[in-house]
Chain A
Amino acid sequence: MNSPYLHIDHVTMNFPTPTGEFCALDDVNFVINKGEYISIIGHSGCGKSTVLNIIAGLLEASQGGIVLENKQINGPGPERAVVFQNHSLMPWLSVYENVAIAVRRVFKGKKTKKEMHEWILHNLNLVHMDHALDKLPSEISGGMKQRVGIARALAMEPKVLLMDEPFGALDALTRSHMQESLMDIQEKLNNTIVMITHDVDEAVLLSDKIIMMSNGPAADIGQVLEIDLPRPRNRVRLANNPTYNHYRQEVLSFLYERQANPLSEKSEEMPEKKLTEAEEAAVTEEENSVDNVTQLAPLDNSGKAA
């Protein structure tokens, strides 16, 4: 086996709290090949975003690390572009300028002014936002903002595109439009993508591989599911496809049977707070369930083999 493109190498994450260390991730280990579309799915608070932030370099793992093309990553950088959940456009910059700030930073000295201008337009064209170049983010809809956020990330020509619940804040219809757009773009560019999601349909429709995470604290990978569906995929035609439904069923049963979320009523991943009895019970329960899952997840070995 070749050395993997991106290796999340036995990452453990502890957050310091007043009552001692809080273990958010425990020995998370997987690999991503070039051009692969990976989704990470799991309940709120299971540490999905923590994984993404560690890959992005915005957080530093307590143990383990990230290896991209045989080089350990050290802090954030434009080769790992991030699409944030709430678009994160500068509200004072126009659509064009929001993409331009990234392009000017990444291609300074590599492209001429004219080439940069064309590259900005090309990327905005890719997400169908070339009609609103001079609009401010406050003047366009949520879906449009997210399109610009994606254009900004794509314009950096990243080795890995990281997306943190990119469509989580959008309504269902806009979300499915965005998913179609993303599939089109992916077909053209064949990027390596890691996407965080809590939407089962989105994960199955878009991904080559779904990484399902067990509940935190001390979350790790519960199961890895390869999605072997031909592309281009069409959500309407897939609706009655037995393989597609099997995959959906697989993810749903992982999320709602084996990892039924006992914390669902509680607040999100705030590590500060002291473990309550219920949470301690959850830890034990989760340990048991992980044991079950390891037997069911032979694919986890591929990561360790590297």
Chain B
Amino acid sequence: MALLSIPFTQQGSKINFQESFKQLMIPLSAMMLFLFAWELSASQIKTSLGLVPGPIEVSKQFGNLITEHAEERTKADAFYERQEKRNAKKLAKNPNAKVKIRNYTGKPTFFDQILTSLVTVFTGFLIATIIAVPIGIISGLSQNFYTAINPIIQIFKPISPLAWLPIVTIIVSAVYVSNDPTFSKSFIISALTVTLCCMWPTLINTAVGVASVDKDLINVSKVLQLSSFTKVWKIVLPSAIPMIFTGLRLSIGIGWMVLIAAEMLAQNPGLGKFVWDEFQNGSSNSLGRIMVAVLAIGIIGFVLDYLMLTLQRFISWDKTAVLR
């Protein structure tokens, strides 16, 4: 969070160098202190996989993961090159020959897993938003509707992703049957679990935002006899935007946490599976690699939140609002 505050303090035309230096140095020195404490305490703990890795060891493992990724890519490129040559030869011999094109089936690297996780979380989050925002608007506008669905929301909201997972898995396996699936089953299961867990904050915050629209503005829309659509589009939505975004930010944070847990439990591809595989692997490098993954999870979560904040800044009419 401290890092976030840097660009905002420079909003004035005059940049106070001393102030921004301070704003940079405080979080930076705290970070150094943390790394130092980590390095010191890590070397004191001996585990079945050797010493707990400190920051230096972890950064080495990060380097290893990059190298592995690069190697895997060269292998894949080589595979596709060979395949192409083989097919070209076949076609040269006999233009009618059947050519088979296969995908490379190497092990997904750390970075492949990150990409999978990101795509999954965005899909789940998008579905949640598409469901939650309209329902939130309706329940904000209609007290009766809200009274009707409130108990359902309150019961479903606290359910852990791990409890949803078996249900979602079984239902998706039963319903999503196709010979040539566009999406893999595991992707749909993970995404739907994310949806189920992360729609509630958006729904509730949207409802509250819509319900708390200034009464005078509603009266203006009554005097003007605006149609319901114009009323929602021109008056209700703009005034509820800050609350909707608060909900969206909470949602994407929850979605990201849920996804990692779901991937670990269900062995669906993604960062969670990477962590679990390393845990089962139990080599002397595993602990370091897990720590790289954990840090990546944290940094990505932070970036996701920052993205939502930027989006809010872009969409919201109130450019003066202090967003944190």
Contacts and interface: CB of A to CB of B under 8 A. Distances in A.
A81 interface: yes
Nearest to A58: B219
A81 B223 contact: yes
Given A101-B234, A138-B320, A88 B217 contact: yes
Nearest to A152: B220
A77 interface: yes
Contacts of B226: 105
Q: How large is the interface on B (under 10, 10 to 19, 20 to 34, 35 or more residues)?
A: 10 to 19
Contacts of B317: 91-92, 136
A82 B317 CA distance: 25
Interface in B196-244: 214, 216-217, 219-220, 222-226, 230, 234-235, 238-239
Contacts of A76: 219, 222-223, 225
A44 interface: no
B318 interface: yes
A105 B222 CA distance: 12
Given A101-B234, A138-B320, A88 B216 contact: yes
A88 B220 contact: yes
Nearest to B227: A105
A82 B225 contact: no
Given A105-B224, A105-B226, A88 B219 contact: yes
A106 B220 CA distance: 13
Contacts of B224: 78, 101-102, 105-106, 156
B238 A90 contact: yes
Classify the secondary structure of B's interface with A: helix
Contacts of B214: 88
A179 interface: no
Interface string A155-184: 010000000000000000000000000000
Classify the secondary structure of A's interface with B: loop
A86 interface: yes
Contacts of B238: 90, 92
Contact of A78 (B223, B230, B234, B318): B223
Name, among B217, B219, B239, B320, the residue most crowded by chain A CB atoms within 10 Å (CB to CB): B219
Interface residues of A, number: 24
Nearest to B230: A105
Interface string A105-124: 11000000000000000000
A71 to B, nearest CB: 16
B30 to A, nearest CB: 36
A39 B239 CA distance: 33
B235 to A, nearest CB: 7
A244 interface: no
A88 B320 CA distance: 19
A269 to B, nearest CB: 15
Contacts of B235: 90
A138 to B, nearest CB: 7
A84 B219 contact: yes
A10 interface: no
Nearest to B238: A92
Contacts of B220: 82, 84, 88, 90
A90 B320 contact: no
A90 B217 contact: yes
Interface string B45-64: 00000000000000000000
A91 B219 contact: no
Interface of A: 56-58, 75-78, 80-82, 84, 86, 88, 90-93, 101-102, 105-106, 136, 138, 156
Top 4 nearest A-B pairs (CB, nearest first) are: A92-B317, A88-B216, A92-B238, A76-B222
20 contacts: A56-B223, A57-B223, A76-B219, A76-B222, A78-B223, A80-B223, A82-B219, A82-B220, A82-B223, A84-B220, A88-B214, A88-B217, A88-B220, A90-B238, A91-B239, A92-B238, A92-B317, A92-B318, A105-B226, A138-B320
Given A56-B219, A105-B224, 19 more contacts: A57-B223, A58-B219, A76-B225, A77-B223, A78-B223, A78-B224, A78-B225, A81-B223, A82-B219, A82-B223, A84-B220, A88-B214, A88-B217, A90-B217, A90-B220, A90-B234, A105-B226, A136-B317, A138-B318
